[in-house]
Amino acid sequence: MLEMLAAAAPEAAAAAPAVASKLHVGLAAIGSALGVGIIGMKAAEATGRNPDAAGEIRTQAIIFAALAEGVVFIAIFLG
């Protein structure tokens, strides 16, 4: 068993930077998904409290969701 692990160690070490570069993109995507979900939840709550302001709330929610999604695009382009 240890012989197999020792034989695979150089290949695993070579693959580690590739895994690390993709890991930050995944973490950014998870954070962005949570952020967009919270934005949607709070926008729905605000619209329920004040239906007359639905247009303004929707506009702000779309802007902030786009900003949250921008984090993922930055992570992809930098990674």
Domain boundaries, the chain: 27-79
What is the pTM assigned to this prediction? 0.73
pLDDT for residue 19:
75
| Burial tier of 60 (Cβ tally within 10 Å: 0-12, 13-18, 19+) | middle
Provide φ and ψ at 30, rounded to 5°: -65, -45
DSSP state of 1: -
Burial 10-31 (b: 16+ CB within 10 A, else e): eeeeeeeeeeeeeeebeebeee
Q: How confident is the model at residue 1 (pLDDT cuts 50, 70, 90)?
A: low
CB 36 within 8 A of CB 68: yes
> How confident is the model over 9-65, as pLDDT tens digits?
677 667 777 777 788 888 999 999 999 999 999 999 999 999 999 999 999 999 999
> Is the pLDDT at 75 greater than 80, yes or no?
yes
